[in-house]
Structures are given as structure tokens and as C-alpha cells.
């Protein structure tokens, strides 16, 4: 991950109002963003502190908590995997007297803790042995990797005994030992060009072979790059965080190429993708160290930056992505952690204002792109356009993003107008699931969902489907049941169902699910009145088997049996 304190975002967590002033002092000392529970004056807000802390950690942020070490340990424990990549986690006691770096000590955590302690006139409780003795880290230096971690313990112990330990920093493959630590600085960039459909393994093997032939350590590679035409090429996207350049940006490297090709120039407008991308990554002060090497269908080249800092935030841009996220019906406890994480990762939020408002308390520097109700196409096109510029976009939907929402439209647009962005879909709890759950278990047996909006679907098609649901004896959930202008559809749908349902069939009217104004009613089919329904309501009608009953506490429940009565020999 190569990031250090200069580039790593810092997330500061105040768990209550009393720790806010100290959190602000921490921010003044080391920068960053202060997160606090909703309602407090902070830069960002969270629902559940441990979840927010885990997300910040997973996203590679340095985490500073104004709280006990225990809270932070519990929050990040499930995410702890590889100490070489973990960001710093630092606990600051609420009285501001003690600063404890818990993880990532050598990823800048100890330095950050020292800086904090000095600003707060506190004590930095640094516990990593080599640091305590020498004020330096042996196993995880910044912008480099230790090539022989197996020798680190012996080397640190030798140093503690006062014996000499040699350290060597090189991009070459060198074997170290218990008295010889070898570091590979993160200074290399690999440029890749390939034909469409090249096997990703071929490119990997070409790279491995080339590195071996030149005796170069893979640990020194900091970045991979190619031309933007290859943004959707698996052979390139297999490298995490690959960066892409326009043909024009690559042409700017023309004079520095070692082996320009007229053929390639004719095909993609650049006299060589691999060399140009490697050079574009390392910048003007870098040099080409391995000119273009040809494989069967791919080429690679390697360039070296003048210093590791030049590659901390590599040039070019990442592949843009539209993440379709379903935030559930409303309450944030009904949102999956994955959706929460996607919202966190994105730099842009696109959506209907009401939905963006529902997640506003989680915003943490993301730009809002608000849209009015309707015109989903505009929303989707805007999200796709941002992704085409290399942005990471969350397209925010209520409920599930595929259920009468925008996921299918995004796929339709990229199907009709191909582009190279990544698209991912992250499910949410849909209104029908929530309504069934509130009522009991109405979707306990076969069910279907029908949108009554005839803005996009011809009314005859809707009639055909309602008829099939009526005769097929499905539990039916009606989305978009009634608007100010469309008042008839739900009445007609009930007319179609009436001959196939008993008068006592349970009907659930659920509005504003998961929001403070939530209202759920369970009534009989013959009690239904269309006037009780609006666009924020979902209407569910039971099958011939569905039942409603009143329990001892006076609550009515509705469910659809799956057939266990027959299995149990009951009727």
C-alpha cells in the first residue's frame, strides 16, 4: 500500500460530546476529519462507532480515537490481517495525557503518536522494541518493504545487544541475513500495453520473467499504468490500483521513449504504450530502466522514479466505478455494512435528494449530486459520466437498487452505449421485505412484486401480470400504487384480484417504512380503500392461503403458511 502519513487520510473519532474539544485539538495538530455521533458539531457523523472505525481502518485511514484502547482494538480486530499494510490506530486518553499507538507503529503510527504527544503535552506510549531503543523502525520503513522479514527479529535483537547490523536499500534482488536487512524502495512503475482479450496470466508471467532477467525485486513496484483504452482489460485491471492515461498524456512522453513503434502509433495514436505509461507514472525526474519487452500479445516496460514520494500519489487516474447501492427503506440500521462501506469509499454521491438526506449523517467529504424525483435516466447518465472521468461514484437508491430502481437502467445504458467503467451492485432490503416483516411473514410462500406505474410499462402488460398473479395465487406486492395523477390503477388491480381472493384475505398497507413516520396497517381485502394509499406506500395482498390473526397483546399478524399443516397431518 505504500501510503505514509503524508498521504494517508486521518480519521479522528470522538465518541461523545465531552471528547469533541480534544478531537479538535488533535485535528489542529495532525490534520484530518473529526467524526462524532449524529447531532454533534463535527466534520462527519456515524451511527455505530465501532462500525465507522472499522470502515476507516479498512479504507486505509489512520485512525485516532479519543477513547480507550479496548474500543479501538475491538473495532479493528476483525480487519487485522497483514501488519505490513495496516494503517496506524492510535488511542488518545480522554484526559489527553496519554497517546497509545496500537497498530501500524512502523507505518507512521509511532511518528504520528510522537507528534500528537508533543502537541498535547502528553506521553506517547510507544511499545515497539526497536523504536524504543533507537527511535527508528527496522521492519516496516516508509515507502519500502523489507525483503527478508524472517531475519528481522534476529537483527533487532542483535542491535539491542549492540552488534552491528547492515541495512541495504536496493531495487535489486539481494539475499540478506540475520545481520543484513535488505529494503526494496517503492520507486518502480510498470507500464503495460496489450491486445484486447490478452490472458491476464500471460502478462503476469511476462512481468515475472522480465523482473527475473533484470534481477529486479517485485517489492519495489509501486504502480502500474496503461492507456485509458484498456480500462476494462482484465490483463491490466488485475493489478490493483492500476492507473490510466489518455493518448494525449502518453504522447507527451514521446521524446523519452527508447523504442517507439510506428505500427502502435498508427493503431492507438501513441508510439508505445508500455514505455510511455511507465514514464508518465514516474514523472519528469524518473528514467526508463527496462525498455519495452515484448510478450506474445503484451508489452511491458519499467521506469524508476527519482524518489518514492513521486509515486505516493501516482499520476493518471483510476478506472471509474459506479456502485449501485441500496440503502434499505430508511433507518440506517437496515443498511448492509457493504453498502455503508461503498458510501464511504465513493468520492461522489448521486441520487434523489430525499435518499441522499437519509444518509447525509454518514457523509465524509463526498460531493453530493442531488436530483429531483423522476428522470432516472438523467441521474444514471450523470453517474456514468462522473465514472468516465475516473471518479468513484455511489448511485444511491432506496430499498434495493435493482427493484424498480436504477440498477437495470445503468446496465441498459452501458449495454446500448458501451463504455469502460466498472459497475457494481450492492443489494438492500426492499420495501416488500420490510412490509412483510412488519406484518409478520406475508411472503412466507410464493410471491411476486408488480409496479403499478404505467409511465414506462404499458397498462395492458400490467393488467396481464396482475391477472396472472391473481390466478396463480401469488402473494402480490404493489409498488408505486397511487400518485396524485395516477389514482385508478390500484382500484383496477383490486378489481382483477377480487374474484380470486376471499373477502378476509389479509392486505398490508405500509408507508414510510423505516422512517419516523412509518405506518403499517393490516386489513381485510373487503376493507381496502384506495384513498388510504399514496406513493410512499407499498400494498401487499395475501394469497388464498394467507391468514391474519390477533394475538394476546392485541396485535394483528399476517402470514402465508408454507404447507407444514399438511405435513403435520393437520387441516
* Phi, psi at 167, each rounded to 5°: -120, 140
Q: Which of 511, 543, 546, 560 binds ligand SAH (CB under 6 A)?
A: 511
Q: How far is the CB of 480 from ligand SAH (least distance, A)?
A: 4
Positive/negative CA dihedral, 211, 216, 221, 224: negative
533 near ligand SAH (CB under 6 A): no
Residues recorded for the chain? 571
* Phi, psi at 242, each rounded to 5°: -60, 145
376 near ligand SAH (CB under 6 A): no
Contact 496, 519 (CB under 8 A): no
Q: Are strands 33-37 and 10-14 parallel, antiparallel or unpaired?
A: parallel
535 near ligand SAH (CB under 6 A): yes
431 near ligand SAH (CB under 6 A): yes
Contact partners, residue 189, CB within 8 Å, separation at least 6: 221, 222, 223, 224, 225, 277, 278, 281, 282, 286, 302, 303, 304, 305, 311, 314
Q: How far is the CB of 416 from ligand SAH (least distance, A)?
A: 22
Binding pattern for the stretch 28-47 against ligand SAH, x by CB under 6 A and - elsewhere? --------------------
239 near ligand SAH (CB under 6 A): no
Comparing CB distances to ligand SAH, the nearer of 530 and 535 is 535
512 near ligand SAH (CB under 6 A): yes
According to DSSP, the residues that pair with 185 across neighbouring strands are: 144
Q: Which of 91, 89, 92 is nearest to 120 (CA)?
A: 92
Q: How far is CA 258 from CA 225, 250, 275, 517, in A?
A: 17, 14, 8, 68
Binding pattern for the stretch 409-428 against ligand SAH, x by CB under 6 A and - elsewhere? --------------------
Comparing CB distances to ligand SAH, the nearer of 512 and 557 is 512
Comparing CB distances to ligand SAH, the nearer of 42 and 449 is 449
DSSP secondary structure letter of residue 141: -
Comparing CB distances to ligand SAH, the nearer of 66 and 434 is 434
171 near ligand SAH (CB under 6 A): no
397 near ligand SAH (CB under 6 A): yes
Q: How far apart are CA 98 and CA 94, in angstroms?
A: 9
Q: How far is CA 281 from CA 9, 24, 215, 237, in A?
A: 22, 37, 21, 16
Contact partners, residue 76, CB within 8 Å, separation at least 6: 53, 54, 57, 63, 89, 103
538 near ligand SAH (CB under 6 A): yes
Contact 91, 72 (CB under 8 A): yes
Binding pattern for the stretch 309-338 against ligand SAH, x by CB under 6 A and - elsewhere? --------------------xx--------
Only segment of 131-139, 179-187, 512-520, 551-559 that touches ligand SAH (CB under 6 A):
512-520
Q: Which of 224, 447, 479, 525 binds ligand SAH (CB under 6 A)?
A: 479
Torsion of CA 119, 125, 129, 130, to 10 degrees: 0
513 near ligand SAH (CB under 6 A): yes
Q: How far is CA 341 from CA 54, 326, 358, 367, in A?
A: 10, 12, 16, 16
Comparing CB distances to ligand SAH, the nearer of 86 and 376 is 376
Q: Which residue is nearest to ligand SAH (CB)?
A: 399
Binding-site size for ligand SAH (CB under 6 A) equals 23
Q: How far is the CB of 104 from ligand SAH (least distance, A)?
A: 39
According to DSSP, the residues that pair with 145 across neighbouring strands are: 184
Q: How far apart are CA 297 and CA 291, in angstroms?
A: 17
Contact 115, 102 (CB under 8 A): no
Cell triple for 218: 517485485
Comparing CB distances to ligand SAH, the nearer of 243 and 438 is 438
Binding pattern for the stretch 264-283 against ligand SAH, x by CB under 6 A and - elsewhere? --------------------
436 near ligand SAH (CB under 6 A): no
257 near ligand SAH (CB under 6 A): no
Residues binding ligand SAH (CB under 6 A): 329-330, 397-400, 403-405, 430-431, 479-481, 510-514, 535-538
Amino acid at each position: 500500500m505504500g501510503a505514509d502519513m503524508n498521504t494517508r487520510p486521518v480519521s479522528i473519532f470522538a465518541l461523545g460530546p465531552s471528547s469533541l474539544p480534544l478531537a479538535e485539538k488533535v485535528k489542529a495538530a495532525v490534520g484530518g476529519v473529526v467524526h462524532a455521533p449524529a447531532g454533534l458539531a463535527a466534520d462527519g457523523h456515524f451511527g455505530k462507532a465501532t462500525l465507522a472505525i472499522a470502515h476507516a481502518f479498512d479504507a486505509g485511514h489512520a485512525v485516532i480515537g479519543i477513547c480507550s484502547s479496548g474500543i479501538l482494538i475491538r473495532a479493528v480486530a476483525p480487519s487485522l490481517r497483514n501488519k505490513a499494510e495496516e494503517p496506524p490506530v492510535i488511542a488518545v486518553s480522554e484526559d489527553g495525557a496519554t497517546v497509545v499507538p496500537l497498530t501500524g507503529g512502523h507505518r507512521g503510527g509511532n511518528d504520528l503518536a510522537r507528534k500528537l504527544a508533543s502537541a498535547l503535552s502528553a506521553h506517547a506510549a510507544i511499545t515497539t522494541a526497536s523504536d524504543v531503543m533507537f527511535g527508528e523502525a527496522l521492519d516496516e520503513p516508509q515507502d519500502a518493504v523489507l525483503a527478508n522479514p524472517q531475519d528481522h527479529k534476529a537483527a533487532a535483537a542483535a542491535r539491542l545487544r549492540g552488534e552491528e547490523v547492515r541495512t541495504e536499500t536496493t531495487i535489486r534482488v539481494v539475499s540478506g541475513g540475520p545481520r543484513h536487512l535488505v529494503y526494496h524502495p517503492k520507486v518502480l512503475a510498470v507500464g503495460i500495453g496489450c491486445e484486447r482479450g490478452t490472458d491476464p496470466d500471460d502478462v503476469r508471467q511476462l512481468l515475472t520473467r522480465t523482473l527475473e532477467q533484470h534481477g529486479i525485486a517485485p517489492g519495489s513496484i509501486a504502480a502500474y499504468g496503461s492507456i485509458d483504452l484498456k480500462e476494462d482489460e482484465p490483463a491490466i485491471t488485475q493489478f490493483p490500483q492500476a492507473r490510466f492515461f489518455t493518448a494525449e498524456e502518453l504522447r507527451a512522453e514521446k521524446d523519452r521513449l527508447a523504442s517507439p513503434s510506428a505500427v502502435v502509433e498508427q493503431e492507438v495514436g501513441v508510439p508505445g504504450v508500455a514505455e510511455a505509461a511507465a514514464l508518465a507514472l514516474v514523472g519528469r525526474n524518473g528514467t526508463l530502466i527496462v525498455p519495452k519487452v515484448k510478450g506474445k500479445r503484451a508489452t511491458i516496460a519499467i521506469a524508476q522514479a527519482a524518489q518514492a514520494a513521486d509515486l505516493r500519489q501516482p499520476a493518471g487516474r483510476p478506472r471509474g466505478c459506479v456502485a449501485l447501492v441500496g440503502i434499505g427503506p430508511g433507518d440506517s440500521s437496515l443498511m448492509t455494512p457493504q453498502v455503508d462501506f461503498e458510501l464511504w469509499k465513493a468520492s461522489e454521491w448521486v441520487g434523489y435528494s430525499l435518499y441522499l438526506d437519509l444518509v447525509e449523517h454518514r457523509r465524509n467529504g463526498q460531493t453530493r449530486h442531488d436530483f429531483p424525483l423522476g428522470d432516472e435516466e438523467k441521474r444514471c447518465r450523470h453517474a456514468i459520466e462522473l465514472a468516465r472521468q475516473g471518479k468513484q461514484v455511489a448511485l444511491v437508491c432506496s430499498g434495493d437498487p435493482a427493484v424498480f430502481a436504477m440498477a437495470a437502467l445503468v446496465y441498459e445504458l452501458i449495454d446500448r452505449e458501451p463504455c469502460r467503467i466498472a459497475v457494481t451492485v450492492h443489494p438492500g432490503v426492499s420495501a416488500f421485505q420490510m412490509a412483510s416483516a412488519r406484518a409478520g411473514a406475508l411472503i412466507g410462500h410464493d410471491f411476486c412484486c408488480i409496479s403499478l406505474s404505467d409511465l414506462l410499462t404499458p397498462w395492458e402488460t400490467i393488467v396481464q401480470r396482475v391477472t396472472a398473479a391473481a390466478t396463480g395465487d401469488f402473494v402480490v406486492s404493489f409498488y408505486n400504487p397511487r400518485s396524485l395523477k395516477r389514482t385508478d390503477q390500484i382500484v383496477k388491480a383490486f378489481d382483477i384480484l377480487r374474484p380470486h381472493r376471499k373477502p378476509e384475505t389479509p392486505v398490508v398497507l405500509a408507508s414510510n417504512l423505516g422512517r419516523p413516520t412509518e405506518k403499517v396497517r393490516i386489513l381485510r381485502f373487503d376493507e381496502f380503500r384506495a384513498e388510504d394509499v399514496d406513493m410512499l406506500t407499498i400494498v401487499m395482498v395475501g394469497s388464498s392461503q394467507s391468514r391474519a390473526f390477533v394475538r394476546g397483546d392485541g396485535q394483528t399478524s399476517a402470514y402465508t403458511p408454507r404447507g407444514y399443516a399438511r405435513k403435520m397431518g393437520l387441516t
